[in-house]
Chains A and B, each alone.
Chain A
């Protein structure tokens, strides 16, 4: 059974600071997604990472994938209040029983 673990689960940070969210997974995969969810809203796709070493950046967010370590990171640079949300990673395992499996999410609060 594929397991996806995110840490931290809760993150409170000051505006202007940098931080990294980690996503570990337990099985082989070369496709990983990051989603953002605002309170009471649905999930918004941020990044899809398709190969080992993939790096994608959008604004203050940068995501990377290391398939050998089974690890993805979401780095936040110079955080602003608008980034406050819950961030989920989701792993698409290889093989016939492909089913997108989500982590528990990281609830990010950016304080002024």
Chain B
């Protein structure tokens, strides 16, 4: 069974540039999560989707971050414009439903210069 797929794996951009990350969850998983992991810390939730509905986005910096999950499958997380402090690993995870074990993708390592 294929796991959670993310792309790109690495991204280097200059500050104020836009950037987008893509995630394809495990087939059949209704719940999708985006996390940010800073160096030496655990992941922190940015947004959670139940199918195509964003049901928990309280931690998402809405002035510059946006996300979508069209058709309840793939998801895109965007940052515009990026700031130096956005450098981190962005992880996507999915689960069959809320409260079930989350399976993580390999992450996108973002460096903002």
- Residue B85 interfacial (CB < 8 Å): no
Complex CA distance for A70 and B89, rounded to whole angstroms = 29
Cβ–Cβ < 8 Å partners of B41 in chain A: 102, 104-105
Cβ–Cβ < 8 Å partners of B99 in chain A: 31, 92, 98
Quick one: which of B40, B56, B101, B107 contacts A42, CB cutoff 8 A?
B107
Instruction: Classify the secondary structure of B's interface with A.
Output: loop
* CB closest residue in chain B, given A89: B42
Would you call B101 and A104 a contact (CB within 8 A)?
Answer: no
Complex CA distance for A45 and B100, rounded to whole angstroms = 12
Chain B interface residue count: which class?
A: 20 to 34
Quick one: which of B4, B40, B45, B105 contacts A100, CB cutoff 8 A?
B45
Would you call B42 and A102 a contact (CB within 8 A)?
Answer: yes
Complex CA distance for A35 and B4, rounded to whole angstroms = 16
> How many chain A residues touch B (Cβ–Cβ < 8 Å)?
21
Would you call B101 and A45 a contact (CB within 8 A)?
Answer: yes
* CB closest residue in chain A, given B107: A42
- Mark out the residues of chain A between 83 and 109 whose CB falls within 8 Å of any chain B CB in the assembled complex: 88, 90, 92, 98-100, 102-105
Complex CA distance for A49 and B91, rounded to whole angstroms = 23
Which of B40, B42, B105 gathers most chain A CB within 10 Å?
B42
* 14 A-B pairs in the complex with CB atoms less than 8 angstroms apart: A42-B91, A42-B106, A42-B107, A43-B43, A43-B104, A45-B102, A45-B103, A48-B101, A99-B48, A102-B43, A102-B44, A103-B42, A104-B41, A105-B40
Contacts A42-B107, A48-B101, A102-B41 aside, 18 further interface pairs with beta carbons under 8 A come to A4-B42, A33-B102, A40-B109, A42-B105, A43-B91, A43-B104, A44-B104, A45-B101, A45-B103, A90-B42, A98-B98, A99-B45, A99-B48, A100-B45, A102-B44, A103-B42, A104-B42, A105-B42
